[in-house]
Chains A and B, each alone.
Chain A
Amino acid sequence: MGSTLTSSRASERLALSLHVVASAVLVTLLGLPVVALVLRVPPGRLLERLRDDALLEALRLSLVTSVFATLAVTLLGLPIAYLLATRTFPGKRLIEAMLELPMVLPPTVAGVGLLLAFGRQGLAGPVLAAFGLSIPFTTIAVVVAQAFVAAPFFIAATRAGLAEVDQRYLDAAATLRSSPSRTLFRVMLPLAFPSLLAGAAMTWARALGEFGATITFAGNMPGVTQTMPLAVYLALQTDLDAAVAMSVLMLALSVGVLLGIRLVTPHLLPAGPFARSPGR
């Protein structure tokens, strides 16, 4: 009896050690590059570099475009996420696949696709030209490229969040004179809000880091289309230290926002008896 106890305890300890080792490996893999980036730039030099106009320009452009892209994705993505979460309709599977496509498409391929679709010679080119619009090489193109690659993240997260809202709340609302659209805004969205926020945060992060589609579809022009990732990439080809400084800046920005969201989310919603609150 004693020996079986100790051997099961030993195997438990082994299992735990394996967990720890695996975790350590992963943390190192993900953490070391970040640490290396930060260590490369002395804080003093970093502040000095932050005064570089080109860098500030790229930073401003990145922030503006990624925020607009996230807003666009949120506004356009919410209706479709709602429909996917609550209805079935013919062709639903096809639409789901289409919406997931940008996630698996290499960004540069996405960029080529965008050109072929919305470029001057693209499928929609003549239509856009009729309205006097030409998208490539403009800041709009940057927003479009970012929205394209980031949209699937938002739609997937929002759809899951909405679907998770317990049907019992929705039924209760219906019996309280609330039409489906009213229920959506007063019950579903507030209850799904933490999921939505997390989805929007991921979307923003993806938009911020977007490179391949941007450089292909929007081009590279300081102040117009040269976002931080492009600036870093180009700086890498000439001035490594400048590239690292910008990378660290982007890193700090992203971490700051993501952490902020993590900290705020638990306070947004007290859990009901059967409302699941993600983001523990």
Chain B
Amino acid sequence: MLDLRVGSRRGEFELELALQARGGSTTVIVGESGAGKTSVLRLAAGLDRPVTGRIVLDGEVYTDTTADIQVPPWRRSVGYVSQDYALFPHLSVAENVAFGLRAAGARSGEIRTRVAHVLERTGIAALARRKPSTLSGGQQQRAALARALVLDPRLLLLDEPLAALDLQTRRQVRGELRRLLRELETTTLYVTHSPMEALLFGDHIVVLEGGRISQVGDRDDLLRHPRSRYVAELVGTNFFAGRATATDAAATVRTADGDLAISRAEEAADLFVTVNPRDITLHTRRPEGSAQNVFAGPILELAPEPPGGERVRVVLGTRPTLVAEVTREAVASLGLAEGITVHASFKATGIRAYR
């Protein structure tokens, strides 16, 4: 169980967050570059010292600025896999993996056994004698992982583990990594900028924006109730934020971009509103009818989703930007193309509003 609360500053950048990770879980920290993700890992590893904060792992206090406690990295039970792996170039894979065990003073017999075991587990036993510079990206990643795991750390820190890999390798490694993390009982903090990885790996997802947590939750929480435009984009849904103005059967949410009719609201309150792209219907002419929300604008982008698939993602230059998902047939029958002005409509019932 990791309890991490830190406030840190580097130059102009301020980081402030508090998170808890259950023992054995994988918490994904997702955000754009510069959002402070790597800083969190460095603080957890003890490589940096927060201005204020407290970090406790399984009851052991690693950092406590009020008590002037800062346990150095080499005394923490933390495994760290950095973005570019940092495998020691002058050592073979096996020696790299053995490095931490040697530093911890393990006996050579034990070292041999454990190294062999972890190399097997990560599938790189055949590479034991090779030097890191001769390995492919995927192999290096596995070596770096093995090196951290062989020490049985209580906290595993992964900094964008898939970012340095090419697309194909990434797909392959992604599945293996997911399996591995599920098997391990190590509490893991996984940092990424990829929404897909966040949704795939995260038992628990922390969204970091500008040094602060904007949302925390599991997959479903994020999908259903994104609390910021960034998160909404992350999960691929349409997002509004506004204030509900009426409380009877038909309510309105006043947003910066216009009013939305929603089915109902309990009271006048600030609300987030999402609209699933699939709930949006496109028309070439302004529709009549019961759908209460209509936005008009040019088509900015038409992209099949997934590539070669049946559905097409349509980005509209409406205010706000809307993303709709329609079938290929619809595109064809409506004669949709980039630049054409369309009307996008969605029913009040198709909206989800929440606090």
Contacts and interface: CB of A to CB of B under 8 A. Distances in A.
Interface centre among A168, A182, A270, A272 (most CB of B within 10 A): A272
Interface in A209-266: none
By size class, the interface of chain A is 20 to 34
A138 interface: no
Nearest to B76: A175
A174 B133 contact: no
Interface in B131-168: 131-133, 147-148, 151
B99 A173 contact: yes
B80 A172 contact: yes
A175 B79 contact: yes
Contacts of A137: none
Interface residues of B, number: 29
B327 interface: no
A191 B99 contact: no
B228 interface: no
Contacts of A271: 89, 133
B100 interface: yes
Given A174-B47, A271-B89, A275-B89, A168 B99 contact: no
A179 B72 CA distance: 9
B103 A272 contact: no
B88 interface: yes
B47 A171 contact: yes
Contacts of B104: 177
B190 to A, nearest CB: 16
A274 interface: yes
B305 interface: no
Contacts of A108: none
Contacts of A187: 88
Contact of B90 (A178, A270, A273): A270
A269 B99 contact: no
A178 B80 CA distance: 13
A174 B45 CA distance: 9
A231 B272 CA distance: 91
Nearest to A172: B86
B100 A176 contact: yes
14 contacts: A169-B88, A171-B73, A173-B99, A175-B74, A175-B79, A176-B99, A176-B103, A176-B147, A176-B151, A177-B104, A178-B99, A270-B131, A272-B132, A272-B133
A204 B28 CA distance: 55
Contacts of A275: 89
Nearest to A273: B84
A186 interface: yes
What are the 9 tightest A-B residue pairs by CB atom distance, in nearest-first order?
Answer: A272-B89, A176-B100, A175-B80, A172-B86, A174-B73, A177-B103, A178-B103, A177-B104, A168-B86
Given A175-B73, A176-B99, A270 B147 contact: no
Contact of A175 (B45, B85, B87, B88): B45
B52 interface: no
Contacts of B103: 173, 176-179, 182, 186
Interface in A153-190: 166, 168-169, 171-179, 182, 186-187, 190
Contacts of A177: 74-75, 100, 103-104, 151
